[in-house]
Amino acid sequence: MTTTVTSKGQVTIPKSVRDLLGIKPGSKVDFLRAKDGSIVLVPHDSKRPVSRFAQLRGHAGAGLDTDAIMALTRGES
């Protein structure tokens, strides 16, 4: 799909793309840079891709206090 940039820097997002992304009049969109350098258009309120570092984050589990976590770390029962 090809579109033309106006003198004001505006473009019309093709209807099929708007429908696919759920973009309606007044919607906000973000332009994200992909790893390969390309630019990706996403709805502003959509979930952003999780970084490889965020995927590594976690927690010790519900209901564990600091003492219990330390005991697990030390190998204590």
Selected residue with higher pLDDT from 52 and 9: 9
Statement: residue 46 has pLDDT above 80: no
30's CB contacts (< 8 A; 6+ apart) are 41, 42, 43, 44
69's CB contacts (< 8 A; 6+ apart) are 60
Selected residue with higher pLDDT from 69 and 29: 29
Selected residue with higher pLDDT from 57 and 77: 57
